[in-house]
Amino acid sequence: REGYGFRPTSGFSTPASAAGPQGRDSPLPDVNGLGWPAKSTLARLHATPAEKAARERRLAEAVRTVLECIGEDPDREGLLRTPDRYAQALMWMTKGYEERLADVINDAVFAEDHDEMVLVRDIDISSLCEHHLVPFTGKARLLYSYIPNKHVLGISKLARIAETFSRRLQVQERLTKQIAICVQEAIKPRGVAVVMEATHMCMTMRGVQKPGSMTVTSCMLGCFRTQQKTREEFLTLIKGR
């Protein structure tokens, strides 16, 4: 797949060139159906209810330590339940680690004699930057386009794929690529293109503090990468808003 393989469960932060094992029941080249599983993803995926509860307690204790380190009193009324609330919120905001992409796609792959461009745009996303653990969201837009090869994907599944990958600690560049490769591996279209625009809180509320700045990333696969005319048609369509 020209170097776009899914990485092994090594904890690396970017895709490696070698593909993982091909799962028999999964449309994705990851035996667990997760796509880019991190070092502890499987432990979280297969955790028992007791282990999940213990994980949340450890997380809440860590949040209490954070509150103390910044100079707060975790025992005052307004912060008494904050560690528990934040632990639950963080587990929800990273629920993508527990979602199998094969289950997300499910049976929404349909045989259809359609070989023209399909464009879905303005799918809002929000994720957590893995460098500062703050959101990148705001006016975030996903613009998809793919050219089917006798199979089409249920439109809602495109949004679900984006949701799954965005509910993990991310960088925008990797998120864009993961979405594109997931669609590519699910239905083997002639080409996939994804363009994402997002505002990063780590840039607007800290550091250089430049509100209103926008980051744009793209990933082109197949004919969108190799055929200039097809790529230009896609770019023209997404500009004509």
> Out of 129, 182, 219, 223, which one is annotated catalytic?
129
Indicate if 129 belongs to the active site.
yes
Indicate if 200 belongs to the active site.
yes
> Out of 182, 200, 219, 223, which one is annotated catalytic?
200
> Out of 51, 61, 112, 130, which one is annotated catalytic?
130
Q: Comparing C-alpha atoms, which of 85, 80, 77 is closest to residue 56?
A: 85
Indicate if 130 belongs to the active site.
yes
23: three-class secondary structure by DSSP: coil
Whole-number Cα distances in Å, 42 to 17, 180, 203: 22, 23, 32
Distance CA 146, CA 190 (A): 7
Indicate if 172 belongs to the active site.
yes
> Out of 99, 170, 172, 223, which one is annotated catalytic?
172
> Buried b / exposed e across 175-211, counting CB within 10 Å, b at 16+?
bbbbbbbbbbbbbebbbbbbbbbbbbbbbbeeeeeee
> Out of 46, 88, 131, 232, which one is annotated catalytic?
131
> Out of 132, 151, 173, 197, which one is annotated catalytic?
132
Q: Residue 6 is encoded by which pair of tokens?
A: 């899914």
> Out of 114, 151, 173, 202, which one is annotated catalytic?
202
- Annotated catalytic residues are 129-132, 172, 200, 202
